[in-house]
Structure 1
Amino acid sequence: MKPDALTEDFFRYQTQTQTFAKGELLSQQNTYNRNVYYMENGLARTFYFEKGKDITTNFYSEGNSFGSIDTIFNNVPSIYNIEALEESTVTFCDYKKLEELCSVSLTSANFSRFLLGNIMTQMSKRISSLQHMTAKEKYAQLLEENPNIILRAPLGMIASYLGISQETLSRIRSEI
Structure 2
Amino acid sequence: MDIEEILDRIYFLPEQSKVRLAEAVAKVSYPKNFVLMEGNKVVPYVYFIKKGIVRAYAATEDRDITFWFGKEGDPVVSMKSYVEDRPGYEHIELLEDCSLYRIETDRLKKLYEDDIHMANWGRRFAEKELVKTEEMILSRQFKTAAECYRDLMQDKPDLLQRVQLGHIASYLGISQVTLSRIRAEMK
Could you tell me the TM-score, scaled by structure 2's length?
A: 0.87
Matched, 1:5 2:16: yes
Distance 1:164 1:79 in 2: 22
Distance 2:119 2:63 in 1: 39
Root-mean-square deviation over aligned CA pairs: 1.6
- Worse-superposed segment, 27-36 or 147-156: 27-36
Q: For 2:86 and 2:116, how far apart are their aligned partners in 1? A: 29
Aligned residue number for residue 81 of structure 1:
91
3-state DSSP of counterpart to 1:32? coil
Q: Which residue of 1 aligns with 2:112?
A: 102
Partner of 1:71: 81
User: Is contact 1:7–1:101 with CA below 8 Å preserved after alignment?
Assistant: no
CA contact (8 A) 1:66 1:119 kept: no
Identity among equivalent positions (%) equals: 30
Q: How does 1:1-176 map to 2 (within 5 A)?
A: 1=12, 3-5=14-16, 7-12=18-23, 14-176=24-186
Q: CA deviation at 1:4?
A: 4.8
CA contact (8 A) 1:65 1:118 kept: no
* Ranges in structure 2 where 5+ consecutive residues have no aligned partner: 1-11
* Unmatched tracts of structure 1, length 5 or more: none
DSSP-derived class of the 1:138 partner = helix
CA distance in 1, matches of 2:16, 2:71: 29
Q: How big is the shift at 1:157?
A: 0.5
Cα distance in 1 for partners of 2:13, 2:146 equals: 43
After TM superposition, the structure 1 stretch with the greater mean CA deviation from structure 2, 136-145 or 102-111, is 102-111
